[in-house]
A and B are shown apart, each in its own frame.
Chain A
Amino acid sequence: MHIDLKKELKQSNLGRTGMTILLLMIAVAILAPVLSQYDPTEQTAASLVSPSLSHWLGTNHVGQDIWSQLLYGARISLLVGFGVGTLSLILSIFFGLSSAIIGGLYGRVVMRVVDALIVIPMVIAVILVAAYIRPDVLVLIFLLSLLGWQSGARVIRAQALSLKESGHVKASATFGASRFYITRRHILPELTPILLVEFIYGVRRAVFIEAGLAFLGICDPMLISWGSMMRDAMRFTYLNVWQWWLVPAGIALSLTIIGLTFISHAAESVLDPRLRGEAVA
């Protein structure tokens, strides 16, 4: 499977839209201090002020600037998203490849554990653990990665198993290549497009769950994220503040997830031969 994923993604409308949204969010996260003049945790005005020139989206119940909170919220979402995406991808690669290459009893045990983890609803397990340990950002990234690598491992294993049987890999084995060499030189490079898709899935799931946990108020309460903004805003739905408080936070979160969904669907259509060519439309 030799696919130039980057080129194909650029050719698909969905892929382009998704990439644009994601790059925009990354830019917002990086440039947050430039784009806003207030510290998101500082009380800068009276509480629940309506939007004005000095406070574009007004202020929240403790007088913090909502526009700065919105910008800085992108940091937490993306940090957790990319952190979990990377870490769970590493775990998926490790368990997926090792179970395919080594096989035998080890491979079977890993796959049984994967099957078991897939049926346990991850969010509720995270809620249970988080209720006890009240995680900060780093612990949350670890926790979500530990509970989220299994479906990626299954996909990677399936691909690695079929690659293992292909001609060039067998040929390389007859020349005396070690299993490690074959994995590194022949199997891993071929998996790159799939790894990218799994990475995006991981990021998406983590952004989603982080927002949910912040919404429930399980994470560090001092942390400003879109989820915690929505949680605070929800208590004031009887006022009209939701227009510039609740809705922007929800839209920012949804837009990020939609962008990631578009990228993964475009990439998936490229990879799946049955669906191939349709995302280009």
Chain B
Amino acid sequence: MIKRQNLSSYIIALVLILALNFLLPRMMPGDPLMAIYGDEALIAMTPELKAHLVERFALDKPLWEQFGAYFLALFQGDMGYSYYYNAPVVKIILSSLPWTLLIVGSSLVISTFLGIVLGIESGWRRGSKTDRVMLTGLMSLNGFPDFFLGMVLLIIFGVIMGICPLAGALTPYSGLSGLPLVLDVLKHMALPVAALTLAHLAGSYLLTRNTMISVLKAPFMLTAQAKGLSQNALKYRHAGRNSMLPVVTMTGIWMGRVVVGALFVELVFAYPGVGQLTYQALLCRDYPIIQGVFLIVTISVLLANFAVDLLYPQIDPRVINAY
């Protein structure tokens, strides 16, 4: 079902990502081994280890052979080794990934759903006072960077009111299990998720509202009205369902934005996800981690977009004939 041209742009994207990841450390001046492994590695480096690594990455061979070695290692699931944590990169990233997925997933679902509902209501009342207030309000909200929203929420609810915990994803050493544990996790994720949701609500809202306005003028709306359907059936079943379509196509790209937003928000709340990991890695120049995060994040966004492309004809069969 997928169009060939779409597939080719995904392949180009993948090649660009891999090339960036491969070429960047090797083009840096100085010892490529240091650029690949970071400052920390030099302390742990013994001559035997160095020889082993040079051989592993084929660093004494021409560039294309190096790429072959790099690609082969990657294919086997080897993203390198962090000398800062003294563990394979894959293992480190996989241990922090679930936390990021938790807050990204929740805020993506909440902000998309809320944005669609608000967009439908706002577009339905186009030009009214409610619509104008919502439009201006949400657009202003859109201007606040997610990390600033996070800090404001942290100060209000954490520092001043003391309702929410200030940092982390769990209460340390609490030994909770079962329902109390779930509640503890929810309490810790409330503020980060709220910050991300507020920052990304405007995207799906604006898109739904704009589509809603043009859908309301479509002839089938007049027909539906003539059939004597109720307001709610008109609003949600006829206009609303069609206004959701562009939001679906954007989900993949938004996922990318929310993930990046999560990197910043996690830093504010000291949430132990990929963002926190990246920040630590940037501080101590732990390059393998930064590279691994880049690879995993970009490829997941790529896959999400690909999945949307595959699913879209199922949701809106008109696009099959559109080309």
Contact = CB atoms under 8 A, between A and B. Distances in A.
Q: Do A and B come from one complex?
A: yes
Contacts of B155: 237, 242, 246
Interface string B10-51: 101100110011001100100000010000000000000000
Nearest to B214: A274
Contact of A112 (B9, B154, B253): B9
A106 to B, nearest CB: 15
Contact of B140 (A113, A127, A258, A278): A258
Interface in A224-266: 230, 234, 237-238, 242, 246-247, 250, 253-262, 265
Nearest to A247: B152
B263 interface: yes
Interface stretch (B56-64, B182-190, B229-237, B289-297): B289-297
A216 B261 CA distance: 12
A121 B287 contact: no
B144 A254 contact: yes
B209 to A, nearest CB: 9
B238 interface: no
A259 B136 CA distance: 11
A119 interface: yes
A51 interface: no
B210 A131 contact: no
B290 A211 contact: no
A208 interface: yes
A123 B260 contact: yes
A131 B286 CA distance: 10
A115 B143 CA distance: 26
A127 B285 CA distance: 12
Contacts of B9: 112-113, 115-116, 119
Nearest to B255: A121
Contacts, number: 152
B14 to A, nearest CB: 8
A281 B213 CA distance: 15
B143 A275 contact: no
B285 A131 contact: yes
A88 B139 CA distance: 24
B13 A117 contact: yes
A208 B6 CA distance: 29
A222 interface: no
Interface stretch (B99-107, B111-119, B298-306): B298-306
Contacts of B268: 234
A19 B5 CA distance: 41
Specify which of A14, A247, A258, A260 lies most central, judged by the most chain B CB atoms within 10 Å of its CB.
A258
B151 A128 contact: no
A89 B156 CA distance: 40
B126 to A, nearest CB: 7
Nearest to B136: A14
A132 B252 CA distance: 28
Nearest to A204: B143
B241 interface: no
Nearest to B294: A128
Contacts of B136: 14
A119 B144 contact: no
Nearest to B297: A124
A83 interface: no
A230 B16 contact: no
Given A115-B13, A258-B140, 17 more contacts: A14-B139, A112-B5, A112-B9, A116-B9, A119-B256, A120-B256, A120-B301, A123-B260, A124-B297, A127-B263, A131-B282, A237-B151, A238-B159, A247-B152, A254-B143, A254-B145, A274-B210
13 contacts: A112-B9, A115-B13, A117-B13, A119-B253, A119-B302, A121-B257, A121-B260, A121-B297, A128-B21, A128-B290, A132-B25, A250-B152, A258-B142
- 9 closest A-B pairs by beta carbon, nearest first, are A258-B143, A115-B9, A121-B256, A116-B13, A116-B12, A257-B143, A250-B148, A123-B260, A274-B214
